[in-house]
Every structure is written in C-alpha cells, then in structure tokens.
Chains A and B, each alone.
Chain A
Amino acid sequence: MSSLLRISLLCILTAVSAFAATSESNTPFEGGIEAYQNAEYKTAKAQFSAALKTNETAAARHNLGLAHFQLNAPAEAVWQLERAQLLEPFNADYRDKLEAVRQELGLFAGSPKWTVLASAALPTKMWIVIATISFWTLIAILILPRINDTKIGISLKTLRFISIFALILSTPSIWLNLRLLQTGTVITDEATSLHAAPASAAPQSGTARPGERARILDQYKHFYEIETEGQATGWISKDAFRPLAD
C-alpha cells in the first residue's frame, strides 16, 4: 500500500514539474513584452504579430500599435489601436492612447460619440440575435391573435412593447456597428493623394492625412474609394489604406 502511495506521489511530482517547465516557456506575447521593455521594438513588433496570428487579442493589437509608434510608424499605430478599441470598445486606456497618437499626427482626438459607444455595449452578433428574436416575436404577436380572432392580454402587450423597444435599440446599433466596420485608416506616414478615379494617373481629388479615418464608399481592383474625416473624397491605393475589418 505504501509503495503504491510513493509511486503515485512520484507521478504527481513529475507531472507538476513538467507543467512548470512548460509554463516557463515564453509565448510570443510575452516575448513581445520582453523585447519592448528592452527597447527592441522590431523584435517586439514581430512577436506581437506572431501572437496575433494565433489569437487576436486587444492587448496584442494595442502593444503592436505601441511598437509601431516607437518605430516611427504612427499611422500604422493608429490602425492597430483602432482595431484594439474595436475588440475592447470600453477600454479607456486604449482610447486615450489612440487620441494621443492621433494628436501627434495633427488630427483631432476623435473621441467616439455616445451613439457609437452605446451601440458597442453588446457585440454585433448579440444585437442581431436580439433584433431577429424581437422581430419575429413582434410579427407573431401581430399576426397570430388575428388568425385566432382573439384579443391580446396584458402579458402579450408587455411582450409587444419589449419587442418594439428591443427592435428600436438593436436596429440602429447593428447599423452603427456595421458602418464602423466600413471604415478604415490611412496607414501611410506621409499625406497621400486621393484620385478622381481608381488609377494612380487619375487627377488628384483630395488629400488624406496619415492616420486619418475614412469611410469606404466603393472598391475596385487595387483601390478603395473613401471619404475622409476632412470630407475629402477619392480613390486611394489599398497599400495606403487599411479597412478596420481587415
């Protein structure tokens, strides 16, 4: 009996030490943090990029953004921070940093409006579930009592009110969330020309500043048609502009 106990203890100790050895090995995320702290920003960038390939986390996006910022690529940093904020919309720290980088680039802080924050209260998927359920519930409450020739009671009236309310809340939220995904950032470090047509040789129709937000209106081959924060509209190369949903 005692030998059996000893063997069991030995097995447990072996398993614990093996687990400890495994946990000590650095993940790309941790490697990125270590490299960043050693001011090895290129390594940090590579490590955080590797971390994002396996699992996209807001922290990795944020850290990669800061690494880009340290490498004098603030426009790319803006995109990474925008994306981090999309993943964690209520992280005030990310928002502050995004605003700071934007201001470094000569842009407005660009704090999100309350409508955008309200729509980010739930993920888009959840809004869609709420909208669909409330829509069909509402249709059922409107149609089924008519088929049955009955009047609806207080409980169904309450449900109808809740459905309408949920639909009113969820529909604009879905619209705002999807609209947010149709935006992107100018990732060049210099001001870029916007063209009147999807061709580099087309006449210039405006200028997009580094890190500037823009809404995608259309796309054609290697160009996006965008409208920037400064109300400039035109076609920009896909190399110079990255959608937020990319």
Chain B
Amino acid sequence: MHLRNAFLILALFTTSTLLAEIRVSTRFEPARVPTGGTSKYIVEIIETDDSTMPKTERVTTLPIPQINTLTMRNGRIAAGSQRTQITNGVREYSNSQQLIIDAASSTEGSFTIPGYIFEYKGGRLQAPAATLTVVKRSADDAPTVDELIFLKADAPQQLYVGQTTPIILKLYVSSNVQLRGMNPFERNADGFTVSDQPEEYSESVEMANGRRYRVYSWPLTITPISAGAQDLDFQLTVSVQMPDQRNTRGSQFGGGMFDNFFGRSERFNIYTPPTQVDVRALPTEGKPKSFSGAIGQFNMEVTSDSTSTRVEEPIMLSLKLSGRGNFDRIKGPEMPKTRGWRNYKPESTYEPSNSQPLKGVKRFDYVFIPEKAGNLKLPKVSFSFFDPKTEKYVELTSPAPTVKVALSKRPAVTTTPTETDNQDSTPAINLTKALSPEELLIILDYRPEQGRHIETDLLSSRLFYGLNGIGLVALTTAGILIYRRKCLHNNPDYALAHEAKQALKKAIKDSQSSDAGTFYHSAQCAIRLAATARMKRNLRSADFAELEALFKQSQVNGDVIEQAHTLFNEADNHRFSGRTHSADLQRARTQLNTILKAL
C-alpha cells in the first residue's frame, strides 16, 4: 500500500515537472446569467517556452462531469493566440488555445464544474473548478438570445420503424433581430433517416410569447430505422445582428442605415428542444407474406397492356399503387414463377403529388413473355402494407388475368451474352473464342463410345420378373425357416415331432439293409418314432403293448395294429433266436411301409 502511494506521488511529481510550462485555466463567461441565458465555459491552455514558439495540440475531448440541469453543448475550439515577450533581453514565447462550450440552465442556482484531469501531449493536466451562477430573470431583463431566436421541429411522439413522416423545421427570428446568414442544419438523429434540407424555404410571420417573429420553414421527412426511444434534435448556425447593436443613438454615423450595412454580426448555434420519439417495431402478428415494408394507406390497380399475344412476344403487367406512405421504400412485389411464363424484374416510376408530401402514385411494370401457346393465366398480384392508423396489416390481391397466347410466327434468336453481363466480372485476357451456333453445328463427334442401352419394356422384362421372383422366393423361404426355428424353440411338441421325423428318416434308410438284424432293429425304431411323431409323446422306448393301447386310442386300423404286432413278434423272435438272416424280409418291408403310411 505504502509502495503504491509512493509510486503515485513520484509519477505526479514527474508529470508536473515535465508540464511545468503548460498552464490550464477555466472560467464561465459571463459567470452570472439569468435563467435560460447562455454562458460560455472556457478552458484555456497556455504554453510558454524560452527558446521557440510552442506548438499546441488539438484537444478533442474533456472529461467534464454532468451537472444536474446545466445543459452543455456546442463544444468548439477557438483560435489561439501567440505572443512573444522580451523582458530584460530575455524572450518568452507563449501559445494558447481555448475550448469553448455553451452552458445554459432553465433553473436558477449555482453550478460548479469540479476540477478534472485530462490528457495533453502525452501528459496529464489539471483543469481547475469553475462556477456559474444562474439567477432568476427579472421582468425588465433584456430577452435572451434563445428567446429572440429559436428552432422548432414538430415531430410526432410515436412512429413505427420504416414509417416515413413529414415534419417542418421552423426557425423563429424575432422581428427586431436581423438575420444575416445561416448554415445548413445539422442533426443528432442516429435512429432516423432525414431528407436533405431544401434549398428554398417558406417565410411567414407568427406571434409567440407576445413577440412577433419571422418564421423560416423547411419541410422535411423523417424515417425511423431502429426501435426504441430515439433522439431527434436539429442544430442551426445563424449569423444575426442583435437589437442592442442596432441601437444607433451612440453611433458616430448617426443613423440606423449605416449600422444595417456596417453593424457587427454575431454567430449563434441554436437547437431544437431535446426531443425523443417513441419508435415501435412493426407487429409480427398477422404480417402477410407479401409484406415488404410499405407503411401508410394505399390502393392497388393491376392492368395488362394486352389480353392476347404470341409465344415469345412480351406483354406488360402494370401494378399501380396510389395513396400516402413511404413510397421510397416500396419494392415491386415478387412475381411467383408461373408455368408458361418467364418474367423480369419490374421497372418502377414514381409521381409524387405536388400538394402533399408522401402522397403520390408508384407504378411497377413487369414484362412477361409467354413460353407456350394457349390460354395462360398471369400470376396473382398481392401487395400488403401496414396501416399505422388502424395498426393493422392490409393485403390487397388482384385476380390472375388470363391472356390468350397464339403460336409464334418468328424463329427464336439465340441469346448471346451481352456486354452488361460481363461488366461485373473481373477483366481477363480472353484466350478462348465462343463458337456461334452455326459453327457449333458443323462439328462432329469423333469418338464412337458405347452409350447406354435403351430398353423400352423394362417393366415386362425377364430382369424385372426374375428379380422380383427371387425376392419373393427368398422372402418366403426366410419366413418359413424363421417360423420353423421359432416353433422348434418355443413348442416342445413340435420339437419332439420334428426330431422324431428326422430320426425316422434315418431309421427307414437303415431298414433298407439286407441284414435281418439291422432291418428289424431299424423297423422297430421307425414304428416307435412314427408313433412319437403322431402322438407327440416320447415313445422311443415303448413296448408293443403300450404302442397297441395308444394305436387303439387314436383309432388306427386294426389290420395295421395286427401287422405291427406280427412285425414286433418277428423282430423279437429274430433277436432272441440268434438267427442272422431271414428269407422273408421282403414281406416284412411291405408290412413296415403299410404301418408307417398308416401312422
């Protein structure tokens, strides 16, 4: 903390040493004014040097704090003075500049601008405090400049973004003040576009506050460009001869005529009262698609110059908008692409009304070229605007006119790039030459490459049917397989029967053997598996008695049961007798086939 303070003191000491020859003073001139009167706040910077004339640096900003109702405006730099003083043979050069700001207050009181530090020539200068005393105006006080000359603009309190409105800027000059000249007005209106000041003004006489004024009026138009509270202030610099200077009683020339010619003019900056306009954004609710920024009140008329034409022969569709509003911001409505027509961007003309600003007629001419013959409809024309009076959008739509288009009588001309098409492109050396259609049409193709094969009946071709057949078969097969797998997985009876059938196939195959032992064993297995598959019960190790009971239960033919009995007996005899072959295997095979068929 101590270290920082020491460093600060050292820095201030160094700065003051470096700027030892620059002095700054501030004052109000006059230091006492009546309410509404204007005083000048003057900041004077004086630089002195022993060797050369110092050069001043232009000061652009001063960190002056805001003081209650004290209005400060019109900051400017006054021409400085240079002085060379020789005292006892020692030269001293000094150069000064004055920064002047107008100060005024509508309330009485003492207003002190405290001291502040500003940067100058890389250093820091301390401007001392200055006080202005504003006293109450007495009845016999002379009128202030603001009472003799003032500026007014009758701006509306509320507008919509994009809404163009006329206003009149009026300069009031008291009849006993002589106006010698004026500069074009300046404006503080960042949220608006303002029309240029007309060169000519109208002059009239008005009474205001018991005084007679000559009034100079300029009609202007303003258009808000952003929403919110927007400042709208105008400033005018006038050169006038004030009444006290026209007082001729002390004039050595003895008359007002000489004063009128040779009297000294004073320049004043006069301002409109601070004005804010409430600028509203356009409502989004109910905004038509065709809305393109028109605000006001309009009527629409759509006409075509002809109701019949030929292919490639253009007709003109005219859209006439009349009324009052921001015509300068109205663009021709986009015409939708319409079958059979091609169209170009419209040409627009505007005829303003002489009597009323913002009133007039705007016309858009669209060129439409038919591309085919027949009764063709031109597109519907829609135009919408926002009515600030009703605060609603209005959409105007015209019906689609029908045009009778006959066939063309003339051949079409090949379009070639125009010069205007190439204007935007960067200049380049053109090393290629575009061939004309005539030249193009004599050039052959020297490469006989195999192109595509054109097949007309592809939907009835073998490829189409084959692909779809394969698809159907593959899908069906996959469906069946998936279904079977699902049944095997989920249904135990089905799985048992399926397994039995698989085993049965093997058993039947084995029963073809000529070896009696193998045959009878396989035959018994086959009958048991067939029974298993039919009854959906595991009968792989069942004896004949059990099988016979189940056969009877499921109403198998008696002969079949008898044959099965015989076969089982034969098999047992064969098995337990130890014989290796039988002479009557053929009959047993026939029996087996009969039994299996029956099962």
Residues in A lying within 8 Å of B, measured CB to CB: 29, 33, 36, 51, 55-60, 62-63, 66, 69-70, 84, 86-89, 93-94, 96-97, 100-101, 103-109, 123-125, 128-129, 132-133, 135-136, 139-140, 143-144, 147-149, 178, 181, 207, 209, 229-232, 245
Contacts and interface: CB of A to CB of B under 8 A. Distances in A.
B454 A87 contact: yes
B475 A136 contact: yes
Contact of B451 (A58, A105, A231, A245): A58
B434 to A, nearest CB: 11
A132 B443 CA distance: 42
B62 interface: no
Given A103-B411, A147-B483, A125 B475 contact: no
Nearest to A136: B471
Contacts of B485: 148
A125 B407 CA distance: 39
Interface stretch (B64-72, B457-465, B556-564): B457-465
Given A33-B446, A144-B479, A132 B412 contact: no
A108 B448 contact: no
Nearest to B373: A230
B311 interface: yes
A148 B482 contact: yes
A56 B451 CA distance: 8
Nearest to A245: B456
**Those 10 A-B pairs whose CB atoms lie nearest each other, nearest first:** A87-B451, A136-B471, A106-B411, A100-B437, A58-B451, A59-B445, A57-B448, A132-B467, A59-B448, A245-B456
B412 A124 contact: no
Contact of A178 (B408, B414, B459): B459
Interface in B407-461: 407-408, 410-414, 437, 440-456, 458-459
B453 A128 contact: no
Contact of B444 (A33, A147, A207, A209): A33
B371 interface: yes
Contacts of B373: 230-232
A47 B364 CA distance: 58
B372 A128 contact: no
A88 B452 contact: yes
Contacts of A231: 372-374
A125 to B, nearest CB: 6
Contact of A144 (B437, B455, B478): B478
Given A87-B454, A245-B456, 15 more contacts: A55-B448, A57-B451, A60-B448, A66-B441, A66-B444, A100-B440, A101-B441, A103-B411, A106-B408, A132-B468, A136-B472, A139-B471, A140-B474, A178-B458, A232-B373
A29 B448 CA distance: 8
Interface string B348-383: 000000000000000000000001111000000000
B447 to A, nearest CB: 6
Contact of A149 (B372, B475, B486): B486
Contacts of B441: 66, 69, 97, 100-101
B471 A132 contact: yes
Given A139-B475, A143-B475, A107 B455 contact: no
A36 B311 contact: no
Contacts of A136: 468, 471-472, 474-475
Contacts of B471: 132-133, 135-136, 139
27 contacts: A29-B448, A33-B446, A55-B448, A56-B454, A58-B445, A59-B447, A59-B449, A63-B445, A66-B441, A84-B451, A97-B441, A100-B440, A103-B414, A106-B408, A106-B411, A123-B453, A132-B467, A136-B474, A136-B475, A140-B475, A143-B475, A178-B459, A207-B407, A229-B372, A230-B311, A230-B407, A231-B374
B463 A125 contact: yes
A101 B143 CA distance: 89
A51 B448 contact: yes
A86 B372 CA distance: 24
B455 A125 contact: yes
Interface residues of B, number: 46
A86 B455 CA distance: 11
What secondary structure prevails in chain A residues at the interface with B? helix
A224 B452 CA distance: 26
Contacts of A57: 448-451
A46 B471 CA distance: 47
Contacts of B374: 230-231
B372 A230 contact: yes
Contacts of B478: 140, 144
B469 to A, nearest CB: 10
Contacts of B483: 147
Contacts of B444: 33, 36, 59, 62-63, 66
A136 B455 CA distance: 23
A230 B376 CA distance: 11
A93 B482 contact: no
A160 to B, nearest CB: 15
A94 B445 CA distance: 9
Contacts of A33: 444, 446
Nearest to A105: B411
Contacts of B440: 96-97, 100
Contacts of A66: 441-444
A148 B481 CA distance: 10
Given A33-B446, A100-B437, A147 B451 contact: no
A184 B597 CA distance: 67
Contact of A124 (B414, B445, B449, B455): B455
Given A125-B458, A129-B467, A86 B449 contact: no
Given A135-B471, A144-B482, A93 B445 contact: yes
A94 to B, nearest CB: 8
A181 to B, nearest CB: 6
Contacts of A104: 411, 437
Contacts of B454: 56, 86-87, 181, 245
A140 B114 CA distance: 89
B482 A132 contact: no
Contact of A58 (B449, B467, B482): B449
Contacts of A84: 451
B313 to A, nearest CB: 13
Interface in B120-140: none
Contacts of A106: 408, 410-412
A104 B441 CA distance: 11
Nearest to A122: B452
A100 to B, nearest CB: 4
A86 B452 contact: yes
A64 B236 CA distance: 82
Contacts of A59: 444-449
A109 B415 CA distance: 10
A132 B474 CA distance: 13
Contacts of A94: 445
B437 to A, nearest CB: 4
A134 B450 CA distance: 29
A29 B445 CA distance: 10
Nearest to A100: B437
A105 B452 CA distance: 28
Interface string B247-281: 00000000000000000000000000000000000
B181 to A, nearest CB: 67
Nearest to B375: A231
